[in-house]
Amino acid sequence: MPRPLTAPPDTPWDTAAEAPRPAEDGPAGDGGIAGLFDRAAATYDRVGIDLLPAAGRLLVRHARVAAGERVLDAGCGTGACLLPAARAVGPGGAVAGIDVSPAMTGRTRERAAGHGLDWVRTYTADVEDPHDALPAPPDGGYDAVTAGMLLSFLRRPDAALGRFHSALRPGGRLALSWWGEEAPGWGRVVEATRPFGPGTREEIETDVPGQSPPLTPERVERLVYQAGFASVELYEERLEATFRDPDHWWEWTWSTAARAFWESVPDGRLPAARAAAYRALEALRAPDGSLPYVLTAHFAVCHRW
């Protein structure tokens, strides 16, 4: 169970924070994407796998976030990018985090308070909804906007990138990350479980968050240039993790957006779907029974004139 929130309510630097909007039903089930991440928040990044935090640290490093800067972290989750950004800017800077999930922003607020990062503020809003205002930037705009692993959840990434561009000061930068290829063999697990979910492969990839095909650097590059950015730097990193056993992997998938697929499986078929996944995992186990996992992370640092 998560601990009760201990941080005081947030207020922006110069305006009152907006109250969270009611969540709407959507492709992820009750509450849409907000509900999906609300349900995942209790265990998100708490199962001993460092993939997302590692990607967050790398994103902040590639963005070259520096002391005294003002940063907006979009899709802040539980702070994978926000916390290292806050440490990088120090007390002379400021970091605002925004996420569609109240449970996620609550955990980020709690974690920031626990680390004494008093220059962090969080807000619950949808970066794609024009009726949800982004936190007001400081005079002249933000020095940097970070968006770690957010792109694959956006229905209109072009609109969101345009909003990020507008929030930046001239010379500011947007830092994006997204997941790429898994290590060979892991696709068998997806194929083994896919028949247990509803719809065709194309419907699942279109309608279930976290199940969309991987973004390509070329597509992201096109999107950011169309949003008005002047130049883009692309990076690729190999991230590694180890699951103790299939049960550990199962726990991890439920702590991520992948739970959307498991929630789409009819209750009576979930045990069979889990068993099919475990059979596919057997071929991936190391001699000690563990499951080594390798995933590619892509990064783009986009500069505004």
Q: Which residues contact 82 (CB under 8 A, 6 or more apart)?
A: 56, 73, 76, 95, 97, 108, 112, 120, 122, 146
pLDDT at 214: 63
The one-letter amino acid code at 242 reads T
pLDDT at 20: 34
- Does residue 177 surpass a pLDDT of 50? yes
**Least confident window among 89-98, 195-204, 266-275:** 195-204
Is the Cβ–Cβ distance between 24 and 101 less than 8 Å?
no
- Does residue 1 surpass a pLDDT of 50? no
Is the Cβ–Cβ distance between 161 and 174 less than 8 Å?
yes
Residues 29-62 pLDDT 10s: 467 899 999 999 999 999 999 999 999 999 999 9
pLDDT at 89: 98
Helix (H), strand (E) at residue 96: strand 94-99
The mean of the pLDDT values for the chain is 87
Helix (H), strand (E) at residue 30: none
Top CATH class of 32-184+213-240+294-303 equals: alpha beta
- Does residue 27 surpass a pLDDT of 60? no
115: phi then psi, degrees, rounded to nearest 5? -95, 5
| Parallel, antiparallel or unpaired: strands 142-148 and 291-303 | unpaired
For residue 263, the Cα-to-chain-centroid distance in whole angstroms is 19
**What value does the mean pLDDT take over residues 121-127?**
96
Residue 17 CB burial class (10 angstroms; 0-12, 13-18, ≥19): middle
Domain ranges of the chain: 32-184+213-240+294-303
Quickly state the pLDDT bin for 264 (edges 50, 70, 90).
Answer: very high
Residues 209-251 pLDDT 10s: 444 456 899 999 999 999 999 999 999 999 999 999 999 999 9
Alpha helices in the chain (DSSP H): 32-40, 51-63, 82-89, 102-114, 157-167, 187-193, 201-207, 217-226, 246-254, 259-264, 270-282
Q: Across 78-92, 149-163, 182-196, which has the greatest mean pLDDT? A: 78-92
pLDDT at 123: 97
**Greater model confidence, 26 or 113:** 113
**Least confident window among 108-112, 153-157, 241-245:** 153-157
